Chains A and B, each alone.
Chain A
Amino acid sequence: MRLGGKLAPYLLSLPGWAYLLVFFLIPLVSMLGMALAVGDPISGFVISFNFQEFVDAFNGYQAPFIRSFWYGTASTIVTLLVSYPVAYWIAFYGGRHKSTYLFLIMLPFFVSFVIRVLAWEFILSDQGVILGTLKQFGILPQSSRILSTQWAVIGGLIYNSFAYYVLPLYVVLEKLDRRLVRAANDLYASPVTAFMKIILPLSAPGIFAGFLLVFVTNVGDYVNAALLGGPGTYMIGNIIQDSFFQSQDYPMAAALSSILMLMLMVAILLYSKAFGTDTIQEYAA
């Protein structure tokens, strides 16, 4: 009985560990192994200690790496700026219809990802509903376009990550103790001051969580670049995909994936050191 009691937490966490082993650890180890392998698809690949692939991957693809981080950072920041007011409005003024509004935000996600991106291709078309109209009124020059530029890719990333940022922000804003805001008002804080000193610091965990969620996904994305981008918008995800399905250069694909993972881990570490939960709590206090 007592032994069972002690073991219970471990036994209960067993499914979790099994899940991590099967769906995380084994693929991760096999990926790292593949990155060190030599060979070709005809004669097969053999694991060795060939670190050259990492060197080649790092040296050969600096531009797409930098581009991916730039697209990822830019899109995440804009997503934050766009989704914060939305989450704020739903949490503070949504009233009885809060879940309806959240449902409306999630609604487009019931449609396949690729179809949604293709829809943007249609909307942003050179003579389409938006650009065509603006050109008709002479607001934009005839030759201007959005599609096939990096702005289309970043825009696609923003659109696709919008809901993923609204939800964590909504959760913290919804739980926020309104009495603190009222107290600030009672103490003659202007709405702006109340927002800056009370609401913003207390919603920091949501900002932090959403940033991680969106940033990591966007840096590794390749669908938006493939469909909305143009020449020179190749992201690292596109390169990895090519290495798999076009070149069958599995060691290169694995090395690139490992490097991307490492870079993201370093970025997240630095980020949480700077804005991590500890700091947030200090800030809030």
Chain B
Amino acid sequence: MSKDDQNGRDLTQAFYRGLTQPRLSRQNFMRGAGAAMMAALAPQIARAEKVKDWPAWWAKQKPTKEFVFANWPLYIDVSSDGKDHPSIDEFTKQTGIHVTYKEVIQEVGPFYAQVAPVLKAGQATGYDMMVITNGWYLTEMLMQNWLVPIWQEKVPNFAKNASPSVKNPPFDPGNKHTMVWQSGLTGIAYNPKLTKREITSFDDLWDPAFAGHIGMFSDIIEIGSAAMLKLGINPTTSTPADWEKAAAILKDQKAKGLVRQYYDQSYINALESGDVWITMAWSGDVYQANSKGYKDLKFVVPKEGCSIWHDNMCIPVGAKNPLSALEWMNYYYTPEAAGLVEDYVNYICPVPAAKDYILNVIKDPDVANSPLVFPPESELARTHEYHPFKNYAEYQKWLNIFNPVVQG
């Protein structure tokens, strides 16, 4: 029964994540586009008074027994009857805080379009915590001062238990506003039966032997970063001159007919069907493809290293229960809570100590010993953060350089 459960769960989970996965921004097709445009045009009315002294603001907050948590679908543990979230129940037991858990974030773009007008008007979104992927939207929210700085003293578990790979990220130095919920790697996935050899390098994405069967991402932050890694450039610290070089090799790759398609989430279907032999890939998808029966598929961190991305917990300005949010962050960074979530979610766990908890208490060695869920430090040391944009002009420069690759 429990084993069947496990399989059933993996399948539906993989299926739903295929439809609703974080990195799917293009597949969602315009939802919220109009709202974003109207919001952008709306006069800047009645901005709430800007908080200048955050420590004083925090000191004024009173503890509450409520907590509203906005997250992505299928991004938290679910009990076997599918009705409860054990990690949330445990949190309520420990703190007496009642959690309203909402799976409202399908994609960053449309979610942004939904909350931006509210935040711009200085009003409350109704959420005390949201999970936002690092990238331009998160950077923009930080620039707009839409995220409450975290009261660090209230979250000691983060300093104690967080993996070095999620501490002090370049997009939010010092973790002033965000803490990682899950991370993932962007490396290469391939089918050894079709490539007929081991894949070790980003150079393999340029191998003419695979012409017409190479998948690249349509996300231009991702392809730009991958091309730079191939050239031996660290994307985090790269300059516009590097971007030009990267765009040049991407255009060359396209002109030679190597690229089959610039994929969004659907790359994983193409990999499973054998249309694509080798492709840029997200680690979580390959793990799920393996567990639903595509055992041949392999995920590698190329020898040049790879990109790492993070989905981050953050508190929007206007949150009604900010102290509950801190309480939750602190709770999540325990091996027990992170272990409960991780055993279900299977991306990269930000709490390395959860591995022992999953192994010894939950007794699920498949997850605990997976190098995709708990990558060794040596692997994580080879990962690179996306380039952190300092302003919109810099982001626009990147867009102008890389957009012609995909759009041309």
Residue of A118, A145, A223 near B269 (CB, 8 A) is A118
Is there an interface contact between B37 and A34, defined as CB atoms closer than 8 Å? yes
* Closest B residue by C-beta to A245: B109
A197 to chain B, nearest CB (A): 45
Is there an interface contact between B273 and A122, defined as CB atoms closer than 8 Å? yes
Q: B44 an interface residue at 8 Å Cβ cutoff?
A: yes
Residues 247-258 of chain A: 1 if any B CB is under 8 Å from the residue's CB, otherwise 0?
111100110000
Q: A210 an interface residue at 8 Å Cβ cutoff?
A: no
Is there an interface contact between B391 and A42, defined as CB atoms closer than 8 Å? yes
* Closest B residue by C-beta to A43: B392
Residue of B220, B261, B269, B396 near A231 (CB, 8 A) is B261
Q: Which of A249-270 contact B (CB under 8 A)?
A: 249-250, 253-254
Q: A41 an interface residue at 8 Å Cβ cutoff?
A: yes
Answer whether A231 and B254 are a contact pair too, CB < 8 Å, given A34-B37, A148-B260.
Answer: yes
- Residues in B whose Cβ lies below 8 Å from that of A230: 259-261
- Residues in A whose Cβ lies below 8 Å from that of B391: 42
Q: B36 an interface residue at 8 Å Cβ cutoff?
A: yes
Q: B173 an interface residue at 8 Å Cβ cutoff?
A: no
Given the complex of chains A and B, what is the CA–CA distance between A128 and B274 in angstroms?
9
Q: Which of B120-152 contact A (CB under 8 A)?
A: 136, 140, 143-144
Is there an interface contact between B275 and A147, defined as CB atoms closer than 8 Å? yes
Answer whether A229 and B41 are a contact pair too, CB < 8 Å, given A121-B266, A234-B408, A238-B407.
Answer: no
Q: B264 an interface residue at 8 Å Cβ cutoff?
A: yes
Interface size on B, residues (CB 8 A): 43
Interface size on A, residues (CB 8 A): 48
Is there an interface contact between A239 and B254, defined as CB atoms closer than 8 Å? no
B7 to chain A, nearest CB (A): 22
Q: Which of A94-132 contact B (CB under 8 A)?
A: 114, 118, 121-122, 125-128
Residue of B37, B143, B393, B408 near A250 (CB, 8 A) is B37
Given the complex of chains A and B, what is the CA–CA distance between A212 and B209 in angstroms?
45
Q: B104 an interface residue at 8 Å Cβ cutoff?
A: no
Residue of A126, A241, A246, A254 near B275 (CB, 8 A) is A126
- Residues in B whose Cβ lies below 8 Å from that of A145: 212, 275
Residues 250-271 of chain B: 1 if any A CB is under 8 Å from the residue's CB, otherwise 0?
0000100001111010100110
**A145, A239, A247: most-surrounded residue (chain B CB, <10 A):** A247
Number of A-B contacts defined by CB within 8 Å? 121
Q: B406 an interface residue at 8 Å Cβ cutoff?
A: yes
- Residues in A whose Cβ lies below 8 Å from that of B220: 246
Main SS of the interface on chain B? helix
Residues 29-59 of chain A: 1 if any B CB is under 8 Å from the residue's CB, otherwise 0?
0110110010011101101000000000000
Is there an interface contact between B273 and A125, defined as CB atoms closer than 8 Å? yes
Q: B26 an interface residue at 8 Å Cβ cutoff?
A: yes
Given the complex of chains A and B, what is the CA–CA distance between A127 and B275 in angstroms?
7
Q: A244 an interface residue at 8 Å Cβ cutoff?
A: yes
Q: B29 an interface residue at 8 Å Cβ cutoff?
A: yes
B59 to chain A, nearest CB (A): 30
Given the complex of chains A and B, what is the CA–CA distance between A254 and B110 in angstroms?
17
Q: B403 an interface residue at 8 Å Cβ cutoff?
A: yes
Is there an interface contact between B407 and A239, defined as CB atoms closer than 8 Å? yes
* Closest A residue by C-beta to B216: A231
Q: Which of B58-109 contact A (CB under 8 A)?
A: 109
Q: B399 an interface residue at 8 Å Cβ cutoff?
A: yes
Q: B33 an interface residue at 8 Å Cβ cutoff?
A: yes
- Residues in A whose Cβ lies below 8 Å from that of B41: 30, 33-34, 37, 45, 47, 250
Answer whether A244 and B264 are a contact pair too, CB < 8 Å, given A47-B41, A128-B273, A145-B275.
Answer: no
Q: B30 an interface residue at 8 Å Cβ cutoff?
A: yes
* Closest A residue by C-beta to B399: A247
Q: B369 an interface residue at 8 Å Cβ cutoff?
A: no
Is there an interface contact between B407 and A244, defined as CB atoms closer than 8 Å? no
B47 to chain A, nearest CB (A): 11
Give me 8 A-to-B residue pairs in the complex whose CB atoms sit less than 8 angstroms apart, sorted by A's number: A122-B273, A126-B273, A145-B275, A226-B218, A229-B261, A231-B259, A239-B407, A249-B396
Interface residues of A (CB under 8 A from B): 27, 30-31, 33-34, 37, 40-42, 44-45, 47, 63-64, 114, 118, 121-122, 125-128, 143, 145, 147-148, 222-223, 226-227, 229-232, 234, 238-239, 241-242, 244-250, 253-254
